[in-house]
Amino acid sequence: MNPDYISLHGKQFEPYLSAQELSASIQQVADRLNQEYAGKQPLLVAVLNGSFMFAADLMKALQIPCEITFIRVASYQGTSSTGTVQEVLGLTEELQGRHVIIVEDIVDTGHTMRMLLDTLGASQPASLEVATLFLKPECLQHELPIRYIGLSIPNDFIVGYGLDFDGLGRNYPDVYKAV
């Protein structure tokens, strides 16, 4: 399942990042987390739907005791952010006094991450950090303390490895960008 180009909803996408490149970036993030969270037991809060592949591969690369839970938020429609973040599925875990790492597939405008940092931070965790596979620095509209970044990328619309275009494209092991 590695075609040169893919078509989703009539839009063409070309190869951008291979599964091997993604794996190397994830391992670098995991190596930092293993070092910086040694002796701690962080709770990974994976943001659905997009981060499920990243969260699974990141967790497999962690050698520290850790837990994972999921939160679902929505802020995208088609290929652009709506600018409005709606929490769809909330956390049930107690965060107070815990080391919490938000695991996100991509941070672009930062609206979703700002809301999550504010919401989760109100629960008084011992620490609250962000691990994102992709960051689009030129799109950021908020100052965000993103400590763990797999790859900084330009403002291209990408799909694959959990990222979608109106529900399609998440299943590809590689990442493709819109042509």
Hey, which residues are catalytic here? 108
Q: Where are the beta strands (DSSP E) in the chain?
A: 6-8, 11-17, 43-48, 67-77, 80-89, 99-107, 127-135, 148-152, 158-159, 175-178
How many other CB atoms are there within 10 angstroms of residue 114's CB atom? Answer: 17
Instruction: Please tell me the distance from the alpha carbon of residue 86 to that of residue 125, in angstroms, as a whole number.
Output: 22
Helix H or strand E encompassing 25: helix 19-36
